[in-house]
Structure 1
Amino acid sequence: MKISLYPGEFFGMVEFLRFRVESALPLSMQERTIYDQVLIEYWEKGNITRNAVAWGLRNIRQRYRIPIPISVMRILHQEMQHHDLSVYGQAFLARLDQELVNNSDRQYQVIRGKTRIK
């Protein structure tokens, strides 16, 4: 699913992800929660640190679309509500909440092994 974010909101997400990943990496696979493992894999495969450089150069008054798997969006939405967040983290959580509420009634259709939103 794609979400439109201001650069500040993106950095709020990155800040929270980095906190969660850094706290979970020292743990063994058996000690990690499933949420932690999903966020670690998204951090590693999503090239978040490389994207952060590009996001830092963008216009702060314009929203940009970024693809985030629905599973990661739901985990972030659930987990961020239980932590103290920066202003940017709160802005990202508010945007994420809005996106999930607005798209919760969409129907999903599996086409050739890929899930698509109708």
Structure 2
Amino acid sequence: MSLINVTNLTYAYEGSYDNIFEHVNFQIDSDWKLGFTGRNGRGKTTFLNLLLGKYEYSGTISANVSFEYFPFPVENKENNTLDVINDIFPDYVHWQLMRELSLLKVSEDVLYRLRKIAFC
């Protein structure tokens, strides 16, 4: 278990008159399964970017866990799904991946599909 502590967090986009967050304090247990929901423009992605260290802010955010943004960027859009997984996480364990697909009731065929790009 690890805690994510947010103390006196204040943040506004450069040039903005209004703060996105103002003197926000909370604590999240990393064992919790939770999600942030809300309408567009309410600060969900901004908060994730603050966790990732992409923006400067006042206050403190402390955690003993790392954060990642999903979906991950795909470098080579010609690769099949398994190649994309290998690019993002080269140390993955194949049997664990297969177990997760099975638990999700997803066919392993998805691993060999090419990324489809829609043109509008």
TM-score by length of 1: 0.32
Rg: which structure is higher? 2
Q: Determine which structure has the larger helix proportion and give its number.
A: 1
Per chain length, whose mean CA-contact separation is higher, i.e. which structure has more relative contact order (CA < 8 Å, sep 6+)? 1
TM-score by length of 2: 0.31
